[in-house]
């Protein structure tokens, strides 16, 4: 015989409801026992009937299982609270960083000469001062780099030996330097 699908809703007939409760309670207790034996799981099942009668199954002590559950539940609640606090802190940090980014973007645009229409005279003077200070800093850095490069080049140049022909000229006497060299160069009309 094929069972039909049972609609899950409260059974109105009290006798039918009591019979169904007894059968399903037995099946549920049997499944809890099987789960604890087959899977070596700690299972506790507590059932109160409509009249307040207690039915229970536990693979170990019910009180021990409940204490374990409460401890685990406290840890979960504590973790959840920490997660919520961390999330809230991160949201505040993101909002703060977003505001800072907007301020920096506005400042950058003004330094590039954009969005100046809404600026007051004081703000324009402040931007001008920032640009002047930036130029001074850039020129100082450029001068420092050039001085360092010049010093490096001077050190390299001083470390090089002087060319050979300069050494020889300094060793020669002034008379030797005035010596004439015959180049056979003739100025005038060519001879026929």
pLDDT, one tens digit per residue, over 52-98 is: 899 999 988 888 888 888 888 888 888 888 889 999 999 999 999 99
The answer to whether 45 and 26 have CB atoms below 8 angstroms apart is no
Paired strand residues for 77: none
What confidence score (pLDDT) does residue 75 get?
A: 80
The answer to whether 65 and 58 have CB atoms below 8 angstroms apart is yes
pLDDT score of 177 more than 70: no
Q: Rounded to whole angstroms, what are the CA distances from 186 to 62, 116, 174, 178, 181?
A: 130, 76, 27, 21, 14
Q: Is residue 182 part of a domain?
A: no
Q: Is residue 167 part of a domain?
A: no
**Does the predicted model carry a pTM greater than 0.95?**
no
Query: Are residue 48 and residue 18 in the same domain, yes or no?
Result: yes
What confidence score (pLDDT) does residue 183 get?
A: 63
Query: Are residue 26 and residue 70 in the same domain, yes or no?
Result: no
Query: Are residue 75 and residue 113 in the same domain, yes or no?
Result: yes
**What's the total number of domains in the chain?**
3
Residue 129 domain boundaries: 120-156
pLDDT score of 129 more than 70: yes
Distance between CA atoms of 60 and 70, rounded to whole angstroms? 16
Q: Is residue 33 part of a domain?
A: yes
Q: Is residue 3 part of a domain?
A: no
- Considering just the CA atoms, what is the radius of gyration of the chain in Å? 49
User: Which of 24-33, 70-79, 170-179 is predicted least confidently?
Assistant: 170-179
Query: Are residue 66 and residue 104 in the same domain, yes or no?
Result: yes
Going by C-alpha positions, the residue among 174, 38, 125 that lies closest to residue 116 is 125
Query: Are residue 76 and residue 43 in the same domain, yes or no?
Result: no
Q: Is residue 18 part of a domain?
A: yes
Distance between CA atoms of 147 and 141, rounded to whole angstroms? 10
User: Average of pLDDT values for 167-178?
Assistant: 54
Query: Are residue 112 and residue 137 in the same domain, yes or no?
Result: no
Q: Rounded to whole angstroms, what are the CA distances from 93 to 81, 85, 96, 105?
A: 18, 12, 5, 18
């Amino acid at each position: 015989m094929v069972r039909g699908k049972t609609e899950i809703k409260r059974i109105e007939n009290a006798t039918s409801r009591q019979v169904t409760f007894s059968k399903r309670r037995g099946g549920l207790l049997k499944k809890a026992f099987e789960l604890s034996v087959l899977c070596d799981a700690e299972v506790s099942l507590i059932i109160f009937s409509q009249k307040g009668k207690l039915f229970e199954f536990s693979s170990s002590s019910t009180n021990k299982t409940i204490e374990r559950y409460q401890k685990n539940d406290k840890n979960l609640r504590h973790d959840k609270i920490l997660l919520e606090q961390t999330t809230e802190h991160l949201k505040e940090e993101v909002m703060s960083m977003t505001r800072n980014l907007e301020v920096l973007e506005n400042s950058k645009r003004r330094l590039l000469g954009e969005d100046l229409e809404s600026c007051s005279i004081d703000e324009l003077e402040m931007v001008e001062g920032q640009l002047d200070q930036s130029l001074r800093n850039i020129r100082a850095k450029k001068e420092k780099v050039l001085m360092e490069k010049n010093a490096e080049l001077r050190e390299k140049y001083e470390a090089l030996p002087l060319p050979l022909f300069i050494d020889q000229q300094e060793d020669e006497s002034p008379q030797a330097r005035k010596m004439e060299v015959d180049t056979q160069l003739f100025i005038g009309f060519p001879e026929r």
